[in-house]
Amino acid sequence: MSRPSFDVLTEPWIPVIQKDGSRNELGIQICLEQAERILEIRHASPIVEFGLYRLLTAATLDVFTWAEQRPELPEDLEGMIESGGFDADLIRQYLEECGDVFDLFHPEKPFLQAKMDSARTKPLVAMYPAMPSGTNVGHWHHQAEDEVDVSAQQAAQWLVTIAPFMTAGGAGLSPSINGAPGIYVLPRGESLFDTIVMNLPLRIEQESGGGAVAWRSSRIPGGERTQATAIEALTWQPRRIQLVPEKDKWGNIRVRRMKFEKGDRANPDLDWIDPNLAYRYGKEKRSPIRMREGRPLWRDAGPLVLLRSTDHGQSERRVVFRRPDVVEQVFTSIARHGRLAIHAYGMRTDLKMKVFEWGRARWDVPAKLGRSTRLGDLVHQELERAEVAVYTLRDQIRKLFPRDGAGRKEALRSIADRCERAYWQRLERGFAPLMSAFAELDPDEAPNDPGLIAEAASEWRRTIERLALEQFECAAKDMDADGGALERLVCARTRLTAKLRKVIS
């Protein structure tokens, strides 16, 4: 009986949208050779979608590294875009050099996995947080973990989430090289080819060692790592995994179980900066921008897209935000005019192993705004203005409770949470016009002219005031109507109105 086999180079498993609008599933080789004919990768799961983009980026980077053609400057990326597509002959030469390493079920070198003869097996769903397993939260799938089996295509899709999104676990199971998952930012081009080129990491000072891409590495994952190259980090292996294939009664390959052990662990001193992550630099610590509870991704558009090594705060609370390197390099060389589509992918955890939610967002950023740090900082200040307004809203809602909620820390919290969610949901519609308005300003004159700034932000600020007042009235409807309650209502409304005037002035 022939052994199970699934060649990720040629078998259909990467879901794409062609430029003509048709949907298809392709292998890695066709995705690269025909990348200029493909519009985008499209998957229902944000973490799978980004994982597939990262896989193709890593493969492309390794092709150019192997051929000693790795881009080093932003201008190199611009030249690659102008070429219109990847060199199919170069790709085929590289794949021939790699040999038989792209079979998902290879007995010795399974793709993105490690051979394990003695490890115990466990349910496959343990590696994918969208499915309930053990203590993983059951988000929308509700079935026993042993009952879940998937196709080889789906198993391969789950594997690509390991490098960017693996969380910490028990028994020494470490997260991926970036620690708890951050919000990954992906500049998008007019084709898959453009997108891959835009996200190729240029040579960075933090690269060290001679680590290889996962499918060309001869090292068995495991132990603490103090060095990393870009191609190694993009396919980081925090777990040793080996899929256990089965065949159903029709002869189709299904995967229900896997072998699963701890893999590589990043040393705390490993100075790796992920090219798709934005960072916050505090007094003594650097950390990726991560998803936070109740905070939609667009609210972090400042550090994720617009800010470049910009100071915020005062004295001990001063921080510096650094947008992702891929965003910086694209605005430097490729996106000089028009707008740049930028996607963000996040997964919120407890910074350990619990997964609560994941999300995806898109912004069309005016190139002028992305290229000007000073204008980007002005937009970020308007986002902070909206933060102050909603804090004021919550404070005045709390004052609707007797004695301003004294002795009741959670007084009216659920109502305030509901009002805040509605506030941000409605305010999001004004963010794109805000960016467009600031993109029209002169980056040299506007930052020093409060009148110009106020005029550009006038509609945004009026919207902040209107939505905050509307949500206050929504909260007020749920209050009592006795004399004391009415007095508190009038006082809180008056204070809110006065404070909002200061916020938007």
- Among 482, 476, 485, 437, which Cα is nearest to 457's? 437
User: For residue range 96-150, what is the model confidence (pLDDT) as tens digits?
Assistant: 999 999 999 999 999 999 999 877 899 998 888 776 655 555 555 556 667 788 9
- Among 1, 245, 263, which Cα is nearest to 121's? 245
- Rounded-to-10 torsion of CA 22, 25, 31, 33: -80
The residue count for the chain: 505
Neighbours of 342 (CB within 10 A): 24
Position 378 scores a pLDDT of 94
Contact 301, 278 (CB under 8 A): no
Position 136 scores a pLDDT of 57
Backbone angles phi, psi at 140, to 5 degrees: -135, -10
Position 335 scores a pLDDT of 81
Position 137 scores a pLDDT of 52
Burial-class residue 152 by CB neighbours within 10 Å (0-12, 13-18, 19+).
Answer: buried
Ranges of residues in the chain whose predicted pLDDT is under 50: 314-315
* C-alpha triplet 131, 137, 141: angle, nearest 5°: 40
Tokens linked to 342: 């930028």
Position 311 scores a pLDDT of 54
User: For residue range 143-174, what is the model confidence (pLDDT) as tens digits?
Assistant: 666 778 899 999 999 999 999 999 987 777 89
Separation of alpha carbons 8 and 101, rounded Å = 10
Contact 321, 312 (CB under 8 A): yes
Position 43 scores a pLDDT of 96
> How do beta strands 184-188 and 339-349 pair?
antiparallel
CA 414 from chain centre, in angstroms, equals: 28
Structural domains of the chain, ranges and CATH numbers in brackets: 14-182+199-266 (no CATH), 372-505 (1.10.132)
- Among 155, 166, 168, which Cα is nearest to 258's? 155
Tokens linked to 465: 């005031």
Position 3 scores a pLDDT of 85
Q: Which amino acid is at 488?
A: R
Separation of alpha carbons 73 and 79, rounded Å = 10
Q: What is residue 112's DSSP assignment?
A: T
Separation of alpha carbons 333 and 226, rounded Å = 32
Position 78 scores a pLDDT of 93
